[in-house]
Amino acid sequence: MKYYIIAGEASGDLHGSNLMKALYKEDPSAEIRFWGGDLMQNAGGTLVKHYRELAFMGFAEVLLNLKTIFRNIKICKADIDQFQPDVLIFIDYPGFNMRIAKWAKTKGYKTHYYISPQIWAWKESRIKDIKRDFDKLYVILPFEKDFYEKKHHFAVEFVGHPLIDAIHNRTSTDAASFRKENHLDEKPIIAILPGSRKQEISKMLTLMLSVVNDFPDYQFVIAGAPSQEYSFYETFLKGKNIKFISNETYNLLSHSYAALVTSGTATLETALFKVPEVVCYKGSWASYQIAKRIITLKYISLVNLIMDEEVVTELIQDDCNSVKIKAELAKILEPNYRKVLLEKYETLEQKLGGIGASDKTAHLIVADISQ
């Protein structure tokens, strides 16, 4: 069978790579063509376009890059028609993927959505497009099944969260080797995860690094995004005694004592590694003003959304400042606070359904297109 997969971000590349591995197990003769990143490329198949050419953050940034976005949509459609896949598999990235799906459905292609768009957060009206344009929907958050089936009468499959697979399947490094390889001392590590896109890294990293001197008994280590070159981070590191590790976020988290994390998938990854964290987010003024008027969620981090309570502290926009980051980081370093937080993390993992999301999704896809 022929599979065409579209992932437009770092998280989609991770989940897409594990899905591809599972598809090759289910269908050893599979032909896979995809939009994604290095992890998907390492899994096999043919890369059409890297996600670093696709990722634009925020409303204002998207508007400034509309010409590039529309050119990519045109390229994608032509490539699909040339490949003639048995199924199109869309991974998150709704702005781009839903446009392609609308076109693909009219052309008679099978359309499967893995990791559905977060319409429960905003743009709930998209449910009409989802019902019209997608044959199958695979959801990864426990509350999404009720949202789609009970509220909108659209059958979906809850397959569990693929992050559990990604963490379970990783190749780990022991603490001593990790510290030696990365020239780290014996101080406890505070990981800094400032995001994957240049716009958010530029905003968040300066703020996060502003508290470093207040915690001399810890060493701060930046998790470099695989989509960015070290030269981009150099300007933030000059004159500071801070370590930088690229493309080793999971190893870093597995040996960290605490973390400062930009809102996104990384908040959930950090929790699944049982690392106490402070969630930080500060967007452009224009993007934030638009977002707060159309997003009605109580929380921005996946940890709190899944648990439906404030398990991890969220510092958003004006609250995301040096004074509050320092205070909240000090709090999660306290033993009693940490104990309660780590117990909440255990409950969180149970809610997510255990390992096997990638295998289950691949099995369902192959079964459907084999009929």
Examine residue 293 and state whether it is found in any structural domain, yes or no: yes
CA–CA distance, 136 with 126 (Å, rounded to integer): 15
What span, in angstroms and rounded, lies between the C-alpha atoms of 184 and 190?
12
> Is there a single domain that holds both residue 67 and residue 82?
yes
Check whether residue 334 and residue 246 sit in a common domain. yes
- Tell me: the pLDDT tens digits for 8-19? 888 899 899 999
**Does residue 191 sit in the same domain as residue 338?**
yes
Given a contact cutoff of 8 angstroms between Cβ atoms, the answer to whether 7 and 34 are in contact is: yes
* Mean per-residue pLDDT, 67-88: 93
**What pLDDT digit, counting tens, does each position of 97-131 carry?**
999 999 999 999 999 999 988 898 878 999 999 99
Q: What stretch of H or E contains 23?
A: helix 10-26
168 lies in some domain: no
In a domain, 29, yes or no: yes
Supply the pLDDT for residue 293.
47
In-domain check, residue 156: yes
Plot region of 368 (φ>0 → left; ψ -120 to 50 → alpha; else → beta): alpha
Please check whether residues 248 and 299 belong to one and the same domain.
yes
**What would the mean pLDDT of 79-101 be, rounded to a whole number?**
96
Q: Are residues 148 and 202 in the same domain?
A: no
Q: Of 341, 332, 281, which is closest to residue 309 (Cα–Cα)? A: 341
Whether 137 maps to a domain, the answer reads yes
Q: What is the pLDDT of residue 196?
A: 80
- For residues 65 and 55, is the Cβ–Cβ distance under 8 A? no
Q: Residue 169 falls within a domain, yes or no?
A: no
Chain segment 147-189, per-residue pLDDT in tens: 999 999 999 999 999 999 889 888 888 999 999 999 999 999 9
Same domain, 248 and 199: yes
Looking at residue 335, its pLDDT comes to 96
Q: For residue range 253-270, what is the model confidence (pLDDT) as tens digits?
A: 999 999 999 977 899 999
In angstroms, the CA 265 to CA 261 distance is 10
Neighbours of 87 (CB within 10 A): 21
The β-bridge partners of 112 are 89, 136
pLDDT in tens, 274-303: 999 999 988 654 455 545 544 567 888 999
Task: Judge if 179 and 120 occupy the same domain.
Answer: no
Collapse the DSSP code of 49 into the 3-class scheme (helix H, G, I; strand E, B; otherwise coil) and give the result: strand
Inter-residue contact 297 to 121 (CB < 8 Å): yes
- If one counts the domains in the chain, the total is 2
148 shares its domain with 227: no
Burial class (CB in 10 A: 0-12, 13-18, 19+), 126: middle
Report residue 269 as tokens.
């990854």
- DSSP letter, residue 164: H
- Report the CATH number that the domain containing residue 272 is assigned in CATH: 3.40.50.2000
For residue 95, what are its two tokens? 């702005």
List pLDDT tens digits, range 35-70: 999 999 999 999 999 998 775 555 555 555 667 778
Give pLDDT tens digits for 317-333: 889 999 999 999 999 99
Distance (Å, whole) CA 44 – CA 23: 11
Write down the pLDDT at residue 225: 85
SS3 at position 278: strand
Q: Which residue has the higher pLDDT, 267 or 95?
A: 267
* pLDDT-derived band at 77, boundaries 50, 70, 90: very high
pLDDT of residue 33: 98
> Within 10 Å of residue 42's Cβ, how many Cβ atoms?
12
- Does a structural domain hold residue 166? no
What pLDDT score does 198 carry? 81
Tens-place pLDDT, residues 190-246: 999 998 878 788 889 999 999 999 999 999 999 998 778 888 998 888 777 899 999
Do 14 and 92 belong to one domain? yes
Helix, strand, coil share of the chain (percent; to 5):
55, 15, 30
Angle at alpha carbon of residue 166, lines to 161 and 167, rounded to 5°: 100
Is the same domain home to 156 and 182?
no
| pTM, two decimal places | 0.80
The domain containing residue 140 runs over which residues? 2-160+356-369
Whether 148 and 52 map to the same domain: the answer is yes
